[in-house]
Amino acid sequence: GLSSISVFPVADLINGKAPAFELKDFAPIALVTADPTVLVVRTDSPYRTLKDFVDAARARPGKINYSSSGVYGTLHVAMEIFANAAGIQLFHVPYQGGGPAVTALLGGQVEALASGPAAAISQIKAGKMRALASWSTERLALLPDIPTFKELGYDAEFYIWSGIFVPAATPPDIQLKLRHAVRDAATSTEFKAAMEKVSTPVAYLDAPEFQKYWERDAARLKAAVEKIGRVEEK
């Protein structure tokens, strides 16, 4: 399961649809990875700092645009969490996937993008993108010079996480076996090395801790999606 699992039921209700599932339908087994997003602009952008970006957005409400991988997608929600925290209005331009969203930024169709650090780091190293801030709770090892939103005074936190779930009716003994198997795999040196190669942080949490993490995250995402409201997709 991905972090977007928490978004779909809320988005369905907002758009007058019966949710395909509810969060109570699942039992969490373990959190495996948690990838914080970063706010990036092109290197030729006039926004050299987050303050530049926020000041411009306040001066031109709804005029600064950003791309995402789709309506209510993780990158859309991340940007709206930041916009709400900063008290600014941005213009959302959804694309069909993360690749086209990045292409739109590099091609000058949009001015900003929320991106996972692994995807952004190559463009930053190539001198094509500049990171302004991250949605993480502490500075990223990959981008140690980039401040977090929180240290700059904005209550904006967001991670693209992946976890293991089973149907809620799965027998407890089966759930326990799966918890042990995932723990052994996620904490192995082989798995950590594989994740390091793709610049994805391992953030293993067993079921009880993951349940609490998921509930907090789901509440944050629910509030953000409700703030976005109904979106008419074209």
What is the predicted pLDDT for the residue at 2? 64
Torsion of Cα atoms, 12 then 221 then 90 then 106, to 10° = -90
What is the predicted pLDDT for the residue at 232? 59
Radius of gyration of the chain (CA): 18
Q: Tell me how far apart the alpha carbons of residues 29 and 147 are, in angstroms, rounded to a whole number.
A: 32
Is there a common fold for 3-16+23-35+158-228 and 38-152?
A: yes
Burial of 80 (0-12, 13-18, 19+ CB in 10 A): buried
Q: What's the average pLDDT block by block, 10 residues per block, for the chain (234 residues)?
A: 70 78 92 94 98 98 95 89 96 92 96 88 92 95 93 94 96 98 97 90 96 91 82 58
What is the predicted pLDDT for the residue at 163? 95
Superfamily of domain 3-16+23-35+158-228: Bordetella uptake gene, domain 1 (3.40.190.150)
* Helix (H) / strand (E) containing 103: helix 98-106
Query: Where in the chain are the domains?
Result: 3-16+23-35+158-228, 38-152
What is the predicted pLDDT for the residue at 19? 81
Q: SS3 sequence, 134-187?
A: ECCCCCCCCCCCCCECHHHCCCCCCEEEEEEEEECCCCHHHHHHHHHHHHHHHC
Superfamily of domain 38-152: Periplasmic binding protein-like II (3.40.190.10)
What is the predicted pLDDT for the residue at 223? 86
What is the predicted pLDDT for the residue at 145? 95
Burial of 61 (0-12, 13-18, 19+ CB in 10 A): exposed
